[in-house]
Amino acid sequence: MHKSVLIWAAVMGAVLLAGCSSHKPRPTTSTAGTSVPADQSQTSGADTSGAYGAAIANGSGEGVAGPSAGQLKNRTVYFDFDSSEIRSDYTSLIAAHARYLASNASIRVRIEGNTDERGSREYNIGLGERRAQAVRRALLLQGVAESQITTVSYGEERPAVTGHTEEAWSRNRRAEIVYLN
Amino acid sequence: MPARAELQVNVTQGVTDPIPIAIVPFARAVPADGGLDLAGVVQHDLESSGRFRAMQRRDMLSTPTRAAEVQSADWKAAGNDYVLVGRVTAPTGSEIDVECDLLNTLTGQRIGGKRFVATGASLRNAAHMVSDFVYESILGVRGAFATRIAYIAVQGQAPTQHFQLIVADSDGESPKVILESNQPIMSPAWSPDDQWLAYVSFENRLSGVYIQRVRTGERRLVSQRVGVNGAPAFSPDGTRLALTLSGSGGNLDIWLLELSTQALTRLTDDPAVDTEPSWSPDGKSIYFTSDRAGGPQIYKLDIANPRRVQRISFGSGYDARPRVSPDGTKLAVVTREGGNYRIAVQDLASGTVSVLSRGSLDESPSFAPNGATIIYAGREGSVGTLQTVSVDGQVTQRLTSSQGELREPAWEPFQR
């Protein structure tokens, strides 16, 4: 048995410092080859120790937008293990969102695909993208314009619930319809 | 007061016959050495490799600091095959010298010695370099103690989690947060010159591939195209990134990004998920995961002729996330055994596969730069930890943290 006790005080210190500054977006350092608008990228400069540079990457918060009448308040589509097929119990939910979006052309949504925690992370990004695309295609087929929909796959990185049981996994295998305005 | 978080190294399994060595406390340079017990760091390094057993200090009858002072026969009689002695001196205000001598007690001969010039801040690294010297002198394999690991730490419960990208010494000491976010950070990958880390960040609620200079924090967004931007891997010459892009249609393929010009070249074009590229050391081919035959398997493509794709894995129904060993002869992969996800090594010449880990959710293998050890993410109960296993499966270690879940370790390459 070995007794090394490694203290994370340095880490915690950095967290606290960064926590203070993260609320205040700093000007972006100009960087070659960057294609992101300056107002989206919040990057801190080097820390005072000079040994390492710390960056802070906190995106802006998003309010809860979108319709809440009837089925429209339900925005999560769950999937079976290793499947991106939309189950029959979600067809009417997707149809309701499709009708709403098709008749409100200025409204935009982001479809977020997610997986459970099993398997490798980047491959799960691929599986989550398949789920997001399955919902996107269903919406497009029902008259929603391409310009109204973006997709993102979080793979297993943004679970809805923490846990390592079949119950937790089934709640994490999902696509979420997020209204952006 | 914030809770104290700790990272601990435990050897969970070592070789049955570790090499006995006496690591004698070094002569100190107080106060220039900042109180660092340099020999203690060396002892911890060597013991944590599982290959060595160090003599207890309280059993030492003398504390020589130079080769000429060592009575080899006495140390041999106490059961040691080797003795390491050394001294730390501070000839000037800012410079600290570390010198050491390694002796073989069986022959009584001095095998060799090293001198390192350090500063107070780099003294711990000098200790790791002493460990590397001892390891290589005795085992004939370059040591990897003076290298670092990058990994992701996650705090909090879903759906509100906090993500950090951390760089620490290979023994888990001196952890530094180099990026943090309230959105996921994943897939850290070192540049071959160890100056940059590439990673994926979702800070804009979109995936983006960034590269960040570790020392200064300077960073660049190199890909935020529509759809998936993921799985960055620096080419061995450092000029290009292999990465995964999907476009709006959601078809993940592997692309090459020229870092100086931003020019993109497509490598795979298949309706399946193609991702997780890993370069061969000669830069001529890329191993990757694809589910073009159903479940995920490992494939290899030639950069010069990317349409020439060869299937590499034929084992379980699930083989993913290949990493090529530094000498190019082996692949570390995630494989499914029953319902468990484990780390396996495939010998590329013979095709032989050995499953090295015993967890249920093991993932993200990364080779040490000397190829002797693989670090990966596993679970202890419900907590994500980093674990290591020697490539022969004989030695295992665990790095646990009482604060947060640790993921996706990436071992720094050797500095050239």
Model confidence pLDDT, tens digit, residues B278-315: 999 999 999 999 999 999 999 999 999 999 999 999 98
Distance from CA of B395 to the nearest CA of A (A): 13
CA distance B320 to B296: 6
pLDDT tens for chain B, 416 residues long, are: 333 334 556 666 767 789 999 999 999 998 889 999 999 999 999 998 889 999 999 999 999 999 999 999 999 999 999 999 999 999 887 899 999 999 999 999 999 999 999 988 899 999 999 999 999 999 999 999 999 999 999 999 888 899 999 999 998 888 999 999 999 999 999 999 999 999 999 999 999 999 999 999 999 999 999 999 999 999 999 999 999 999 999 999 999 999 999 999 999 999 999 999 999 999 999 999 999 999 999 999 999 999 999 999 998 789 999 999 999 999 999 999 989 999 999 999 999 999 999 999 999 999 999 999 999 999 887 788 999 999 988 888 888 676 689 999 999 999 86
Q: In this structure, what CATH number is given to the domain that contains residue A104?
A: 3.30.1330.60
| DSSP letters for chain A | ----EEE-HHHHHHHHHHHHHTTSPPPPPP-TT--S-GGG-------TTSSS--EE--PPP----S--SGGGG--EEE--TT--PPPGGGHHHHHHHHHHHHT-TT--EEEEEE--S-S-HHHHHHHHHHHHHHHHHHHHHTT--GGGEEEEEEETSS-SS--SSHHHHHHHSEEEEEE--
Residues A11 and A85 in one domain: no
- Residue B132 belongs to a domain: yes
Instruction: Please name the residue of chain A whose CA is at the shortest distance from the CA of residue B408.
Output: A121
* Min Cα–Cα distance to chain B from A146, Å: 10
User: Is residue B4 situated within a structural domain?
Assistant: no
Of B325, B379, B331, B322, nearest in space to B354 by CA: B331
- Alpha-carbon distance of B67 to B88, in angstroms, equals 15
In a domain, B12, yes or no: no
A137 and A102 together in one domain: yes
* Shared domain check, B227 and B359: yes
Quick check: A151 and B227 CB within 8 A? yes
- A133 and A46 inside one domain: no
Q: What are phi and psi of B49, to 5 degrees?
A: -70, -15
Contact B241, B256 (CB under 8 A): yes
Residues A99 and A117 in one domain: yes
Residues B201 and B330 in one domain: yes
Q: Are residues B154 and B133 in the same domain?
A: no
- Residue A52: list chain B partners with CB under 8 A: 167, 176, 178, 214-215, 217
B245 and B370 inside one domain: yes
| pLDDT category of residue A53 using cuts at 50, 70 and 90 | low
pLDDT for the residue numbered B171: 87
Residue B306 class from Cβ within 10 Å (0-12 exposed, 13-18 middle, 19+ buried)?
A: middle
What does the alpha-carbon distance between residue B307 and residue B234 come to, in Å, rounded to a whole number?
A: 21
Residue B29 lies in a domain: yes
Tokens 């491959």 -> residue: A123
Comparing A14 with A142, the larger pLDDT belongs to: A142
Please count the structural domains in chain A.
2
Domain region containing A128 = 70-179
CA pair distance B87, B33, nearest whole angstrom: 11
Cross-chain residue pair B203–A58, CB shorter than 8 Å: yes
In the predicted model, what is the mean pLDDT of residues A67-87?
93
Backbone angles phi, psi at B136, to 5 degrees: -70, -40
ipTM > 0.90, yes or no:
yes
DSSP β-ladder status, B19-23 and B82-89: parallel
Boundary-marking domain end, from B139, B157, B184: B139
| Interatomic CA distance for residues B116 and B48, integer angstroms | 23
Strand intervals (E) in B59-218: 82-89, 96-104, 110-118, 148-155, 162-169, 176-181, 185-190, 196-201, 208-213
pLDDT at A7 over 80: no
Find the CATH number of the domain harbouring B316: 2.120.10.30
Instruction: Give the type of residue at A83.
Output: S
Structure tokens at B152: 């992701």
> Which value, to the nearest 10 degrees, does the dihedral of the CA atoms of residues A113, A119, A121, A126 take?
-40
Q: What is the identity of the amino acid at A70? A: G
Task: Say whether both A56 and A82 belong to one domain.
Answer: no
Residue B5 lies in a domain: no
Give the nearest chain A residue to B402 (CA atoms): A8
Alpha-carbon distance values, B314 to B298, B354, B369, B391 (Å): 8, 13, 27, 20
Examine the domain organization and report whether B165 and B127 are in the same domain: no
- A116 and A75 share one domain: yes
User: How many pairs of residues across A and B have Cβ atoms under 8 Å apart?
Assistant: 245
Same domain, A111 and A162: yes
Cβ distance B331 to B324 under 8 Å? yes
Shared-domain flag, residues A86 and A171: yes
Residue with tokens 């050890």: B373
Nearest residue on chain B to A4, judged by CA atoms? B8
**Residues A55 and A79 placed together within one structural domain of the fold:** no
Q: Which chain B residues have a beta carbon less than 8 Å from that of A110?
A: 205
Smallest Cβ distance to B220: which of A31, A40, A151?
Answer: A31
Q: Please indicate, yes or no, whether residues B233 and B335 belong to a single structural domain of this protein.
A: yes
Query: In chain A, what residues touch B400 (CB-CB under 8 Å)?
Result: none
| Residues B372, B236 within the same domain | yes
**Domain count within chain B:** 2
A37 min Cα distance to partner chain B (Å): 11
Check whether residue B173 and residue B72 sit in a common domain: no
Tell me, yes or no, whether A97 and A163 share the same domain: yes
Per CB-CB distance under 8 Å, the chain A contacts of B336 are 119
Q: Comparing C-alpha atoms, which of A153, A52, A39 is closest to residue B214?
A: A52
B248:A119 CB<8 A: no
CB B371 within 8 A of CB B327: yes
Whether residue B313 is contained in a domain is answered as: yes
Confidence of residue A62 (pLDDT cuts 50, 70, 90): low
**Which CATH number does the domain housing residue B117 bear?**
3.40.50.10070
Structural domain ending residue among the three candidates B79, B111, B139: B139
Chain B residues closer than 8 Å to A125 by CB: 207, 228, 230-231, 244, 252, 275
Domain annotation covers residue B416: no
- Are the Cβ atoms of B341 and A118 closer than 8 angstroms? yes
By C-alpha distance, the chain A residue nearest B175 is A11
A153 CB neighbours in chain B (<8 A) are 207, 228
DSSP letter (8 states) at residue B27: B
Q: Is there a single domain that holds both residue A35 and residue A79?
A: no
B208 and B88 assigned to the same domain: no
Domain that holds residue B90: 17-139
CA distances to A112, A126, B112, B195 from A52, rounded to whole Å, are: 34, 33, 34, 11
Q: Does B336 share its domain with B373?
A: yes
Residues A57, A133 share a domain = no
pLDDT bracket for residue A54 (50, 70, 90): confident
